[in-house]
Structure 1
């Protein structure tokens, strides 16, 4: 009877690659056997597989660490732990969008992290998966007019409060990225919370994708400002468009480049 290593030598490199793609653990006996295969192609795929598995372990470890705050709250009997984040405080145009979200204890999307650390393509993939798995979710929006009326900080707080108050089930613990809001609910303000809490990370992704989609719609309403590409931020092309085309109803008149253009 042939050993595993002898059997593998009769396989093509393409077959070995397909075999490696199915392996999910570093201690899989198939890996040990394949280390004996002298072919460079096999060794190259082994290196790629080992890296993939190490990255998976790292992501899972980080994911478990980011559950710490939620699990502490659950251990105190707080059943409805909600993460809150915002996106769009810096742009010259468009609203601030906030998200309040409650995740189940068996939420398993290990790729969820601070939305700024993820590519647009990854966020788009995660967005419907997060919405499908969450227990409840709500969006709060502060319009450019509200931002001009209150200032960006206070408008963001109002949008966060609106998101919380729109949830079907009242939370008993809030985890918030770098802010506190005016609701009579226990809350923990976290610096860089979107990279420390799974719930806040999920909220950051949902808020970001929701706002990106909204700015894509505005790109059709107000062509020439490149909103689909710049999301309302003050890029060179956007600033040039303001000079050439003027200020739109979705521009924040209290922000200095827009105020300067109006003058």
Structure 2
């Protein structure tokens, strides 16, 4: 396309709205050269989007730099592992270990807490497409009460490792050390600085959120569909009115319910 001059603004807007980001570079000069201000503004808007994509690409490359250094040494099966659900009053703690193909490069992968539900679900689908292997580990509230949340988290992690088809050559873990013969590297705020750990946090979060949606159908009074078991004011009020459910962690609510 050499020019938009013979097209209406409405038609151009429809084209731009459906434009693949790979064509932004060639399209921006055509839009900015148009005599109509509305079309020029579309060009400026695309230019901002292109800059944002470039910045996001650079952020992802930085997140992948640690994994890249291991790939360069010939280590191809790198397992990112993370947990979700250490803090809620109800429900299990869930972990995911994921081994991604080295060429996985999905924009916007980040600590799952920093992403919207829609973005997490979209990225979860993409990351599972990129996975060489992955597994979920889960420890329920009764076991959490028996062995405490830290030990329950570590158990869920080792359970997820056992469920893999083949073990990874290296584990990248968010701020923990677990009992395994697999070489491991613990990273503080790992889900914000490691692509593999962030991927694991996203898959674990989507899995647990979906599970809490199911629990909501059984116990609708507690708002599990939106609080995911965390101790919101409305959740605590429901606890005091209706008492605990079978999925509540007794060790977490002992000071809330008499």
**2:22 matched to which residue of 1?**
24
| 2:185 counterpart of 1:169 | no
Instruction: Output the CA distance in 1 between the equivalents of 2:221 and 2:21.
Output: 49
**2:95 matched to which residue of 1?**
98
Indicate if the aligned counterparts of 2:84 and 2:93 stay in contact, CA closer than 8 A: yes
**2:225 matched to which residue of 1?**
228
Indicate if the aligned counterparts of 1:246 and 1:261 stay in contact, CA closer than 8 A: no
| 2:15 counterpart of 1:8 | no
Instruction: Output the CA distance in 2 between the equivalents of 1:229 and 1:118.
Output: 15
1:127 to 112, 124, 138: 124
Instruction: Output the CA distance in 2 between the equivalents of 1:213 and 1:195.
Output: 23
CA shift for structure 1 position 200: 0.8
| 2:76 counterpart of 1:68 | no
**2:236 matched to which residue of 1?**
239
Unpaired runs of at least 5, structure 2: none
Larger radius of gyration: 1
Stretches (4+) displaced over 6 A? none
TM-score (structure 1 length as normaliser): 0.91
Instruction: Output the CA distance in 1 between the equivalents of 2:111 and 2:256.
Output: 34
CA shift for structure 1 position 46: 1.2
SS at match of 2:255: helix
CA shift for structure 1 position 128: 2.2
Please list, as runs of the form range in 1=range in 2, the aligned pairs for 1:166-205 lying within 5 A after superposition: 166-205=163-202
Instruction: Output the CA distance in 2 between the equivalents of 1:201 and 1:104.
Output: 15
RMSD: 1.8
Q: Does the C-alpha gap of structure 1 residues 33 and 214 become closer, same or farther in structure 2, counting only changes over 3 Å?
A: closer
1:15-68 Cα offsets, whole Å, 9 max, x none, are 33345434636642x422432323121122112111111111112111111111
Instruction: Output the CA distance in 2 between the equivalents of 1:214 and 1:66.
Output: 29
CA shift for structure 1 position 181: 0.6
Indicate if the aligned counterparts of 2:175 and 2:188 stay in contact, CA closer than 8 A: yes
TM-score (structure 2 length as normaliser): 0.93
Indicate if the aligned counterparts of 2:93 and 2:153 stay in contact, CA closer than 8 A: yes
Unpaired runs of at least 5, structure 1: none
